[in-house]
Structures are given as structure tokens and as C-alpha cells.
Chains A and B, each alone.
Chain A
Amino acid sequence: DQQVKQNSPSLSVQEGRISILNCDYTNSMFDYFLWYKKYPAEGPTFLISISSIKDKNEDGRFTVFLNKSAKHLSLHIVPSQPGDSAVYFCAAGVYNTDKLIFGTGTRLQVFP
């Protein structure tokens, strides 16, 4: 049972445009959500997070939106840059457990 799902395995976006990556979850106990970026041959690196008490968190070009009723979150990158090309994982967890459940990842390619 996949508790965290990323239904789009890949996404291709032109430089300067908006990238929108989506994630759905099934476990209503999750109250903390994170996005990670992963380059080949490297470990995932933290990008941005949001707790369930918020519906939006912004950090520079990156914004995460949370829709609790739909059990859906999304990551917006604007403007997209070629250096953003990587695999993006969403992750969910319960606060104070530090244990995260990851989605299957979306490979983002930003082309000039």
C-alpha cells in the first residue's frame, strides 16, 4: 500500500516557466510534509516543508501548497531553471517521529 504517491514519473518544462509537481497521500495521520531533490549519484537534499496547520509555504522560487481535505500537496517552482533538473520526492510523516514515507519521485527536466 503506497501511502504517498506521485503519479507523474516525469515532467518537462521550458526554462523560465512554472514547474508544478504533485503528490497525494492516504494516511490522515500525516501532519508534516517535505520535498526533496535528488541528483544522480547523490543523496536526496531537503528543499522545503510544510506542516498541516498551514496551506502554503514559500521559499524563494519554491512554494509548497497543501490541501488537507483532498490529501494533496504540490510544489511550484517559478521561474524554472536548468539547474532544477533532478528527481523530486515528496515525503510525509508524523511530527516528532522523524520517520518519513516517500513518494516514487518525479523526474523534472528544464530545457532552455
Chain B
Amino acid sequence: SAVISQKPSRDICQRGTSLTIQCQVDSQVTMMFWYRQQPGQSLTLIATANQGSEATYESGFVIDKFPISRPNLTFSTLTVSNMSPEDSSIYLCSASTPGSNEKLFFGSGTQLSVL
């Protein structure tokens, strides 16, 4: 199993500002992902965080809006840029570990509110 620490756990931000969310995994990691859960909605995959290279974004998400870094195997950041109220959501970091058989582990999430 893996323990994923994510911070901040929540934040209230002003429109037009940016917030960087950090994710740290305590064990060996195969893949890292960032998800978003808008109110009453499903968990939607934003991107796959690739170590040492640009993240792979899903349809509807772009690097300028959600820049992602993964400088090493166990750490990643997601930035929500130029925020608007529509970005108010829970952002979740997740990871898979060797032998986890497609099972993802999740951080506790970052509850973001944009005013």
C-alpha cells in the first residue's frame, strides 16, 4: 500500500490568483495522477504526471491552466492557474505502486474555493 500526503487540505482563493498543490508518496510509485471532483460530479482525470517530462493531459485540460511537475518518483505538484469560481472543486492526487494491480491510492484531497 501507499500513504499519500497532500497539502494544503483546503484553501480559499481570490479570482485570478494561482494555487499549487503538493503531493508526496511514502513508497515506491509506478504512476501518479491528478483528479478533480467538482460538486456532485465524478472524479475526472486531469493528467498523468510523468517523471522528468511534461505531463500527459486528458481532453479538456491544458498545461497553461494546470501545470504539473514531477521532479522525482514520489513527489508531484499541480498548479491551478488564473483561478475562476468554476475551478472550485476537490483536487485529488493518486498513485499506483508496483504490484498494486491497477489499484490506485488517493490523497485526502484539496478542497479549493475560488471567490
Residue in A closest to B100 when the chains form the complex, CB atoms: A98
Residue of B30, B102, B109, B111 touching A95 (CB-CB under 8 A): B102
Contact of A43 among B30, B31, B40, B107 (CB under 8 A): B107
Contacts A42-B108, A95-B102, A99-B48; A104 near B4 (Cβ below 8 A):
no
| CB-CB nearest in chain B for A6 | B42
Question: Is A104 a contact partner of B102 (Cβ separation < 8 A)?
Answer: no
Which among A13-21, A44-52, A68-76 touches the partner chain? A44-52
**Does A105 contact B42, Cβ atoms closer than 8 Å?**
yes
Q: Which of A4, A41, A98, A103 contacts B108 (CB 8 A)?
A: A41
Chain A residues within 8 Å of B, Cβ to Cβ: 2, 4, 32, 34, 36, 41-46, 49, 89, 91, 93, 95-96, 98-105
Residues of chain B having any CB pair with chain A under 8 Å: 4, 6, 9, 30-31, 33, 35, 40-45, 48, 92, 94, 96, 101-109, 111
Taking A46-B105, A98-B33 as known contacts, 15 extra A-B pairs with beta carbons closer than 8 A to each other, sorted by chain A number, are A4-B42, A34-B103, A36-B106, A41-B108, A41-B109, A43-B6, A43-B108, A44-B43, A49-B102, A98-B31, A98-B96, A98-B102, A102-B35, A102-B44, A103-B42
